[in-house]
Structure 1
């Protein structure tokens, strides 16, 4: 199988999990139980790991053309296939619970994939190929034809019920194949419902009715959220993507839908991003506050506080499972061939074991952002969390760590790690009146000032005329663009201004893309959006706006961003859709709306 480009995939979500559907009509990724559960369709990572294709027989042949778009304010994807025989629309969604409105979206999702085929013109011959492979392709299910005309796929802990809208399915040993015709005006609904072999049975829904209900649920959700800034269409869509990456039951936001999509084709930096990172916490909260509403931000904060728990001597992990699991130990799936042959394929992420000194600063910055909402007197658990994090920073800030890029070689004194330690203490000093008698204001302020002096002294490199990525290094690192964004230095400070220019000059790639470091082969979208914010804060609004609009051009045809862009080809790289890229878009748009905002 020729691998589809990452940008050819559209994103479906029920706020429990998500699916990826290609322009060719094949659903190649679905982990139905929750974002980080095992896949039942995994062709994204191996041709034999399962898929569900529904498309014209003429798809891919001369005369076939595809148009697709999301139904307004939803993650319901409508794909129109134009063929020499006529045109047909396939509308795909993950079903919302019937009657779900507002913040109920995703709370009790039934885990059902909906696919509704509508004939538009002529008579189009269609082909269905349903080939589930649970456990990342390790299991081949038995297929049992049902009295109602459907097919039940059973293997290990998984049940999948396929219903084919009255079209008789043809079971071919380990897959369902069927060709059929659709005439103009004809509507045929299909669904695949997930259930547990020893638990919940697959839900039974009418696909056409359930699709209409899902559209209403998404649109009602978006109607309750308001954004009054610039680039409203892009911000609202990014807010929908962030909602789609939110595990509704806990409020956690997954970093991406996928695992092991490579940063470089054939490379080995292939990681599992289906977890929620504390590092992205403050930026995520800001984006949710801007583009969604305080309720989402508050639920995310509550999830983080509960996941962190009582602070002990061990470093707070940078990431957790979407229900707050701490141990997300990593292993390699050796039976999978990887996206475009890129190995290894990883499940789990061992970055949870690393010492990353920036994490407490991210959490305390989030507390600072929510300070008015949290009240003048913090409750006992919140107070203990903040006090524990501050003391951890006060006693460990001088140590080396792995940094925000989670290097897997050696610890270093990374500049942004030290700056986020400064943030932790700076915000804690401001929050001291809410922290009770144990707030050690004078000591915290002294350590904060010591950290600041160390960063200004050890982080500046005279030879390059810029702040470097680590103490004693001359290597540029785009993470230093965070310094103005967290208030460590103004963007107009002469040394900071020189650093911004050096990053733009030395790490810039085509179309405004910014690489993380000199040897990074691809443009990293979050850093590129940080540059937009820095330019706006430096008073260069015209340049910031021009850069922002160039970056918007790197979205795929349905407005989705992965993590990185190949500057030579424009191809999307890395896990997708990437929350931090969409967070960067929202925050940059708001900065261009109100450049003096926090």
Structure 2
């Protein structure tokens, strides 16, 4: 029987996020921001302390159902007992416009009410500190509890008797109750009034945001859920976009491919920006570019990833106090990939920036000064297009001149040529066009293997990897070019297994990959459609959609045998792929009937 550990829902507001299981238990949340100490860390199995969760427990539990309120990030869980009793738990993080700014405190609001019968519940709030290593010092008052976490005091305000929560006492739920967990501030109004007002305002915010998305005719629910999920992964204080909210959920069972994804990979973030741009949600792009320009160095050099507060050093270490997901350690904090050379990031950033210069809806479109800030990135791309790097798969034990990396360096120069023309700088446009053409010629010469009849993962290489599917998407080669078609077909033969794709099959530092990399399957779907195999692409797309969890979310990887989700969660890459493929495959709006 398939396990459902990643049958989790996500709530958040651009400051932090929280993961909630089917029983309305918060099992993961880093506070007060994505990269903080996980006060709620039950997902990664604390070794020596009970807790790490915030639970609403129904006595004689029988079953549950869970869904989001339509077009929002507000979660509703219904718990039923064996005696006909039922309760409703509504969870959300406040987010709405106030005084010209967004109100988005690191706070969870939980609203609980009886639905039927005579339900009895327990509320357990059991945060841990120092990555699950200790129970934090706590205090309490007449209607609140406080926990002294590292650098942050967490406060729970409630109309439930405080002693019931402190001691885990069961009580009959005869009327609605509210809980507000967040910053250590006294609530200046009635708890129920604040919770109700926050619910209405937060629902209005999300529905207004969704209303202006340019969604496809088909698969709207899936696209909207993915778009909201991507939005929840942007840290709006800086504009950074995290790869996922978790760390150390293994890519495959017992594989030790356990990485900390709570940081901003420039490549991943650029994919997010491009996906949301396609839906018309351009503010994410503006925030991300603000982040990028704050990272700018004099020579234009960029690391592959940074912290959400623009931290450069993300030293990697193992956390002994957490046993790991299902006990499959190690749990890692930090990510050593920050020291790697991944030259495709320059193309990623320029691609993500290009719409800024062409979209007339923007309040502050790109101009010559903005272009000048991008040019150093192009200089780096041109200088490094034939220099070995770790590649987008972040190999730790080898480097190559990766074909995808070189093509992304071409993309940086190509887009800078187009942008220069747009801002009426013809001399710069000519320079960047010449550089783009030079890179293009070299990639064709060295990245194409005539004997094998397809592009290869590295210059003068012998192997395939799924990143080659993106060559048409970035405009490096036409989708109907026989060389691209042949590469797509070769990838289908060698990397496809059932209804999913490996990212590559050659062994790496940790052995041979064991699970499918979900975004690669979406890239393949997109490529199939581009070369004319639309019916096959649609069938494959539907099969991946069926692998989403009960609330429409995806992690990084899927098992080939049973489709179980693995890897960090929710994974921005996967939801980017879903949006892109849906936009490609959907019937046009004029076909609506």
- TM-score normalised by the chain length of structure 2: 0.89
- The 1-side partners of 2:303 and 2:367 are apart by 23
Asked if structure 1 preserves the Cα contact closer than 8 Å seen for 2:94 and 2:108, the reply is: no
Aligned residue number for residue 591 of structure 2 = none
Q: Aligned in 2, Cα 1:53/1:592: closer, same or farther, shift over 3 Å? A: same
Asked if structure 2 preserves the Cα contact closer than 8 Å seen for 1:193 and 1:204, the reply is: no
Match of 2:372 among 374, 384, 390: 384
Pairs within 5 Å for 1:103-182: 104=101, 107-148=102-143, 150-170=144-164, 176-182=167-173
Q: How many residues align?
A: 572
Deviations 1:327-360 (A, max 9, x none): 3332222322111222222222222221111111
Deviations 1:91-118 (A, max 9, x none): 3434315x537995xx332222222222
Asked if structure 1 preserves the Cα contact closer than 8 Å seen for 2:285 and 2:352, the reply is: no
Pairs within 5 Å for 1:537-552: 537-552=530-545
- The 1-side partners of 2:150 and 2:568 are apart by 28
Q: Aligned in 2, Cα 1:384/1:527: closer, same or farther, shift over 3 Å? A: same
Aligned residue number for residue 414 of structure 1 = 402
SS in 1 for 2:97: coil
SS in 2 for 1:490: coil
Deviations 1:488-521 (A, max 9, x none): 11222212111111212221123x2111011321
Task: Tell me by how many angstroms 1:261 deviates.
Answer: 1.1
Aligned residue number for residue 235 of structure 1 = 223
Q: Aligned in 2, Cα 1:201/1:454: closer, same or farther, shift over 3 Å? A: farther
Moved more, 324-333 or 371-380: 371-380
Aligned residue number for residue 553 of structure 1 = 546
Task: Tell me by how many angstroms 1:484 deviates.
Answer: 0.8
Asked if structure 1 preserves the Cα contact closer than 8 Å seen for 2:266 and 2:348, the reply is: yes
Task: Indicate yes or no: 2:192 matched with 1:193.
Answer: no
- The 2-side partners of 1:464 and 1:297 are apart by 39
Moved more, 277-286 or 205-214: 205-214
Q: Aligned in 2, Cα 1:281/1:244: closer, same or farther, shift over 3 Å? A: closer
Q: Aligned in 2, Cα 1:52/1:473: closer, same or farther, shift over 3 Å? A: same
Q: Aligned in 2, Cα 1:201/1:470: closer, same or farther, shift over 3 Å? A: farther
Pairs within 5 Å for 1:450-469: 450-462=438-450, 464-469=452-457
Aligned residue number for residue 191 of structure 2 = 206
Task: Tell me by how many angstroms 1:433 deviates.
Answer: 3.5
- The 1-side partners of 2:337 and 2:63 are apart by 43
Asked if structure 2 preserves the Cα contact closer than 8 Å seen for 1:115 and 1:190, the reply is: yes
Aligned residue number for residue 28 of structure 2 = 29
SS in 2 for 1:189: strand
Task: Tell me by how many angstroms 1:85 deviates.
Answer: 1.7
Q: Aligned in 2, Cα 1:407/1:76: closer, same or farther, shift over 3 Å? A: same
Compute the RMSD of aligned alpha carbons.
2.7
Q: Aligned in 2, Cα 1:205/1:230: closer, same or farther, shift over 3 Å? A: farther
Pairs within 5 Å for 1:51-450: 51-59=53-61, 64-97=62-95, 100=97, 104=101, 107-148=102-143, 150-170=144-164, 176-183=167-174, 186-195=175-184, 206=191, 208-209=195-196, 210-307=198-295, 309-312=296-299, 315-373=301-359, 378-380=367-369, 382-433=370-421, 444-450=432-438
- The 2-side partners of 1:73 and 1:549 are apart by 21
Q: Unaligned 5+ residue runs, structure 2?
A: 506-511, 589-593
- TM-score normalised by the chain length of structure 1: 0.89
Aligned residue number for residue 526 of structure 1 = 519
Aligned residue number for residue 15 of structure 1 = 14
Asked if structure 1 preserves the Cα contact closer than 8 Å seen for 2:33 and 2:106, the reply is: no
Deviations 1:376-408 (A, max 9, x none): 97243x233222112112222221000001111
Task: Tell me by how many angstroms 1:24 deviates.
Answer: 2.8
